[in-house]
Amino acid sequence: MAPTPPLSNLQTRDLASVVHPYSPLHKLDQMGPLILESGNGVYVRDTHGNDYIEGMAGLWCTGLGFNNEEMIEAATAQMRALPYYHQFSGRGTEPAIELAEKLKEIAPVPISHVFYTSSGSEANDTQVKLAWYYNNALGRPKKKKIISRIKAYHGVTLMAASLTGLPYNHMDFDLPFDGILHTDCPHYYRFGKDGESEAEFVARLAQNLRDMIEREGGDTIAAMIAEPVMGAGGVIVPPKGYFEAIQPILDEHDILLISDEVINGFGRTGEWFGSQSHGMTPTTISVAKQMTSAYAPLGAVMIPEFMMDALKSQSEKIGTFGHGYTYGGHPLGCALGVKAIEIYQRMNICERVRSMTPLFERRLEALKDHPLVGEVRSSGLLGGVELVADKATKRAFDPKQGVGPQTAVHLQKHNLILRPIGDTIAICPPMIIEEDELNALFDRLELALDDTEHWVA
């Protein structure tokens, strides 16, 4: 059951001392924070002893669930051997080398080198810096703008938040920075026009992108960043042919394509990378989250040979490559990354996700009969359920009504943790989830949707 006042000692201390990210800070006193103390497989337990199915794998990240022993052993061994070292001044560690080699081995496009960060946001900030550095190396100082998309989520550091295309990441933070161009969101259900086929929608978006590039001048644009499946924007699966339609336009103008695989990567969509599931051929790739099953913070940028050459030539000109994070390539994160990929490979994670996908899709499809459900969408074990006020007209609820957040309250009451993104309920369970657990997840979701139906009535 959801924690209800009176608040426990821990809840009271939490409220007195901790600022919670992405939380309605003005309401937390009444809601009471949910304090977790342990995990087991796809379950987490709160300090009241309640077990929840963690249907979001934390923040789309604990692919191996919450108590993988091999991971714990790998972490312990690394902590004993060398708890910290960095990558600066040409220093390194074996886990960092091994992980880079593994990333190159599973990469969907030719990758020659890996730059480590501590998070997805830092990876995307690094992507922009590398794209700028690269164009400076090539003597193209004007070619600097970055294209992103409305509803994209690329993180919260200043540049990553600028790339992000969600209003609450910009409002009153004085963002986005100049030079970031947001093009259309490829969500056919929401942005397709009346009578427009999906193919026509794709063609319109491609034309809009072409117009934007020509208006701005292709020689002023360095890169476009895109998640294959948009996660925190509402689990938006691109229509068929979307990346195939936009990629040649970028190529024509020599614009790099950055795949943000921070959520999609490491089997989530049934392939190692979401770009492989969705017809995208990126130049560079950002990864984090499931790379270590989130057992330690780690992000990375994967780059091709020609970018590495540019970095070397700029380094020669300037005297050093002046970028890096204290915790980038942390040996603990890298040892866990090596172990996680080893486990994913051994359990044939892509095949496993693909084998669970029909059940996931079947249970999602069944939700379409629910009076509140406007659209369901998914790719592999990544799904979204969009709740609407009127199914026939697709009319959304007034955001002030808070239907999504209230549904999360109902979900918690049924011992299930999912994430409301506006009125879309995101589902992204640990990839180790078993059939009976997946069925239980959907059974609980159905109960919560019924509660919401009564609540809005």
> Contact between 232 and ligand PLP (CB under 6 A)?
yes
Instruction: Figure out which of the listed residues 59, 150, 158, 212 binds ligand PLP, where binding follows CB under 6 A.
Output: 59
Q: State which residue, 192 or 420, has the beta carbon closest to ligand PLP.
A: 420
Strand 113-117 vs strand 419-421: parallel, antiparallel, or unpaired? unpaired
The residues that bridge with 114 in the sheet, in sequence order, are 302
Q: State which residue, 86 or 154, has the beta carbon closest to ligand PLP.
A: 154
> Contact between 125 and ligand PLP (CB under 6 A)?
no
At a CB cut-off of 8 Å and minimum separation 6, what does 125 contact? 117, 155, 157, 158, 159, 160
Q: Which stretch binds ligand PLP (CB under 6 A): 117-125, 191-199, 250-258, 444-452?
A: 117-125
Nearest to 100 by CA among 119, 84, 89, 87: 87
Nearest to 181 by CA among 202, 142, 152: 152
Q: State which residue, 382 or 433, has the beta carbon closest to ligand PLP.
A: 382
Instruction: Figure out which of the listed residues 143, 154, 414, 419 binds ligand PLP, where binding follows CB under 6 A.
Output: 154
Instruction: Figure out which of the listed residues 121, 148, 247, 314 binds ligand PLP, where binding follows CB under 6 A.
Output: 121
Q: Which stretch binds ligand PLP (CB under 6 A): 149-157, 271-279, 395-403, 420-428?
A: 149-157
> Contact between 263 and ligand PLP (CB under 6 A)?
yes
Least CB distance from residue 253 to ligand PLP, whole Å? 24
Residues 153 and 168: their CA atoms lie apart, in Å, by: 11
Instruction: Figure out which of the listed residues 46, 54, 125, 260 binds ligand PLP, where binding follows CB under 6 A.
Output: 260
Q: With contacts defined by CB under 6 A, how many residues of the chain interact with ligand PLP?
A: 15
Instruction: Figure out which of the listed residues 66, 153, 188, 295 binds ligand PLP, where binding follows CB under 6 A.
Output: 153
> Contact between 414 and ligand PLP (CB under 6 A)?
no
Residue with tokens 């992507």: 127
Nearest to 379 by CA among 227, 255, 158, 208: 227
Q: State which residue, 11 or 169, has the beta carbon closest to ligand PLP.
A: 169
Tell me whether residue 6 is exposed, middle or buried, using C-beta atoms within 10 angstroms of its C-beta: 0 to 12, 13 to 18, 19 or more: exposed
For 137-199, the DSSP string reads HTT-TT--EEEEETT----SSHHHHHH---HHHHTTTT-PPTTEEEE----HHHHPPTT--HH
> Contact between 227 and ligand PLP (CB under 6 A)?
yes
- Footprint of ligand PLP (CB under 6 A): 59, 119-121, 124, 153-155, 227, 231-232, 260, 262-263, 288
